[in-house]
Structure 1
Amino acid sequence: MARLQLKNVHKRWGAYVGVDDFDLDIADQEFLVLLGPSGCGKSTTMRMIAGLEDVTEGEIWLGDRMVNKLEPKDRDISMVFQSYGLYPNLTVYENIRFPLRVRKVPKEQHHEMVMRAIEMVELKDFMDRRPAELSGGQRQRVALGRAIVRKPTVFLMDEPLSNLDAKLRVSTRAQIKNLQSKLKTTTVYVTHDQIEAMTLADRVVVMNKGRIQQVGTPTEIYDNPANTFVASFIGSPAMNLVEGRLADGVFTSEGIRVEGLRRDVTADVTLGFRAEDSVIAATGGQIAAPIYSIELLGEASMISWRLGGSLISVRAPKDFRAEIGETICASVPAEICHLFDTASGQRLA
């Protein structure tokens, strides 16, 4: 049983608050991703779980044990770092074997355990090489093999793909997802890359300034962001956000007018909608403004406008043709729109 609980966890250095009232229950075998910008507290949270940082306040439970005071080596947790952390003088085989030697696992068990890990990370043909003879992706797979060799209760992964190029990130991401499904080990994964979070996670924890902004499945967070921060952080491109006025069910702002919205609210609001939910219209759309930019993405074109200081994007067919500065329209139906309170940033219920 590898249920992991963080109960009102805080981390402070003097007056600086790194993590503020982090409260979360992580289920056995769950793949949980901590997502947020640099400095949001996600790596600090992971380091407290690992025992590399002391908890200022609150409790961390692994199964039926509170582990706040336990040394890292006593928590039965394996961690994969961004920097690989391999021993350059050891072969792949010996690097993966090293945790077994440190933990004094009986030597007669080593070979079977190491070979099992090597086969899982697909490095059998490279097990006699040293790290300098490997590619970045292969080195990261050695680090993964070293983490899984002793079958820990929990995996912690701190931005393990950030040193890899785009193509390697895709293939290694798929391998991590496949490994976790086979191993069925509770995993906490830290990243600032929302594509990694959306593709890997059972649940995503979006963090900002040390606090949890929203917890949910990738679909829940994408479809129903709790506030403008989550809306602006999730999605590629991020959700379009336009500040304006809502009255009598009509939202108005520079270059955009959307009817059929809530009639019970009269306030300054922020209207949100996804680029893929709106379409280019010949005439009569809710947006009418000069084109700011056109980007060909391969499968589609991205059309952007400048509206009220915001950059607004809408997907168009890949064969769409127009000139920058040409005024065109886009359809933004009321049913695809999200409303947020402009002052607080919170979603309007």
Structure 2
Amino acid sequence: MARLQLKNVNKRWGSYVAVKDFDLDIADQEFLVLLGPSGCGKSTTMRMIAGLEDVTSGEIVLGGRNVNNLEPKDRDISMVFQSYGLYPNLSVYENIRFPLRVRKVPKEQHHEMVMTAIRMVELEPFMDRRPADLSGGQRQRVALGRAIVRKPTVFLMDEPLSNLDAKLRVSTRAQIKNLQSKLKTTTVYVTHDQIEAMTLADRVVVMNKGEIQQVGTPTEIYDNPANTFVASFIGSPAMNLVEGRIEGGTFTGDGITVEGLKAPSGPVTLGFRAEDASIVPSGGQIAAPVYAVELLGEASMITWRLGEQLVSVKTAKDYRAETGQMVEASVPAAICHLFDAETGKALPR
């Protein structure tokens, strides 16, 4: 069983706090994604799990055993890095075999174990090639095969797709998801890409400035963000956020008025998703000149500048409007989220 627990884990370098009070229980076979901007502490958290960084305080428990003081080699963890870390003088076969040699697995077991991993990452036609003769996607699959071959208790993946182009990211992402479903191995995956997080994860941990902002399924964090940071980080485009005031259940901000909201009077931030609002001929909650029109392929994006804020709404791909044209949008109260203007925390809906 590969249940992984982080109990009030902290990491400090002098006065700098990289990770603060990280408390999380990761279930056996779960695919967990740590998501956040650069410098938020997600890679540091992963490196502490791996044993590459010491824990300042708190506990890391794997399979019921405290591993704080164990060397990385003794934690039964495989890690896939952003850089492929392949040996240029070794073939694909020998690169994948290398961990078995290091761990002194009996030689008679090597071929079957290596070929199983090679088949899983679909590299049979390339197993005699060296890394220089492979594409970026193929090299990353070699790194995945090397992690798979010795059947670790936990996989750690640190931005494994960031060196790939957009097309390869999509195909390799699907392969990672498929592999994890077959291997049923507990996986912790680090990324700053919210699309990767949403498509891969069983649960997502959104981090900022070393602290957990929200933990939940992709659907939970998308539909009910805990604060304005999560709302602005999750989604493509991110949730529209407009500052204003509520008086008597009516929100008023620059260029927008929404009635029928249930919240105390005072300053708030109103949020709504671009795909939940709609363009209307008249009577909309937004009525302003168009700032930009973008064709996305499957839809068009209409953007307004409301005061200092840009607000977008998705509409049909064949919709046409000119910059500066007055266009209205329906933003009903039912689609709106409200956040405390001071703390950024979500208010009850």
Same fold (TM over 0.5): yes
Amino acid at match of 1:45: T
Q: How much does 1:141 deviate? A: 0.1
Identity between Structure 1 and Structure 2 (%): 84
TM-score computed with the length of structure 2 as normaliser: 0.99
Measured in 1, the distance between the counterparts of 2:129 and 2:324 equals 57
Measured in 2, the distance between the counterparts of 1:190 and 1:100 equals 26
Amino acid at match of 1:285: G
Amino acid at match of 2:283: G
Measured in 2, the distance between the counterparts of 1:147 and 1:290 equals 54
Residue matched to 1:154: 154
Q: Secondary structure at the match of 2:241?
A: strand
Residue matched to 1:343: 342
Residue matched to 1:255: 255
Measured in 1, the distance between the counterparts of 2:106 and 2:232 equals 51
Q: How much does 1:224 deviate? A: 0.1
Query: Does residue 330 of the first structure (1) align with residue 316 of the second (2)?
Result: no
Which whole-Å deviations, capped at 9, do the CAs of 1:169-213 have from their partners, x for residues lacking one?
Answer: 000000000000000000000000000000000000000000000
Q: How much does 1:308 deviate? A: 2.2
Residue matched to 2:280: 281
Amino acid at match of 1:43: S
Is 1:242–1:308's contact at 8 Å kept on the other side of the alignment? Answer: no
Measured in 2, the distance between the counterparts of 1:237 and 1:51 equals 36
Measured in 2, the distance between the counterparts of 1:106 and 1:248 equals 75
Is 1:4–1:61's contact at 8 Å kept on the other side of the alignment? Answer: yes
Runs of 4+ residues over 4 Å off in structure 1: none
Measured in 2, the distance between the counterparts of 1:45 and 1:267 equals 38
TM-score computed with the length of structure 1 as normaliser: 0.99
Measured in 1, the distance between the counterparts of 2:62 and 2:253 equals 50
Amino acid at match of 1:120: M
Amino acid at match of 1:276: E
Q: How much does 1:84 deviate? A: 0.5
Residue matched to 2:99: 99
Measured in 2, the distance between the counterparts of 1:98 and 1:267 equals 63
User: After superposition, where does 1:213-232 map in structure 2 within 5 Å?
Assistant: 213-232=213-232
Residue matched to 1:313: 312
Q: Secondary structure at the match of 1:198?
A: helix
Tell me how many residue pairs correspond in the alignment: 348
Q: Secondary structure at the match of 1:21?
A: strand
Unaligned runs of 5+ in 1: none
Residue matched to 1:45: 45
Q: Secondary structure at the match of 1:252?
A: strand
Is 1:275–1:315's contact at 8 Å kept on the other side of the alignment? Answer: yes
Is 1:205–1:213's contact at 8 Å kept on the other side of the alignment? Answer: yes
Q: Secondary structure at the match of 1:277?
A: coil
Residue matched to 1:195: 195
Q: How much does 1:316 deviate? A: 1.3
Q: How much does 1:247 deviate? A: 1.2
Which whole-Å deviations, capped at 9, do the CAs of 1:108-140 have from their partners, x for residues lacking one?
Answer: 000000000000000000000000000000000
Measured in 1, the distance between the counterparts of 2:3 and 2:346 equals 31
Unaligned runs of 5+ in 2: none
Is 1:305–1:313's contact at 8 Å kept on the other side of the alignment? Answer: yes
Q: How much does 1:259 deviate? A: 0.3
Measured in 2, the distance between the counterparts of 1:120 and 1:316 equals 41
Residue matched to 2:264: 265
Amino acid at match of 1:279: S
Measured in 2, the distance between the counterparts of 1:23 and 1:246 equals 36
Query: Does residue 58 of the first structure (1) align with residue 58 of the second (2)?
Result: yes
Q: Secondary structure at the match of 1:275?
A: coil
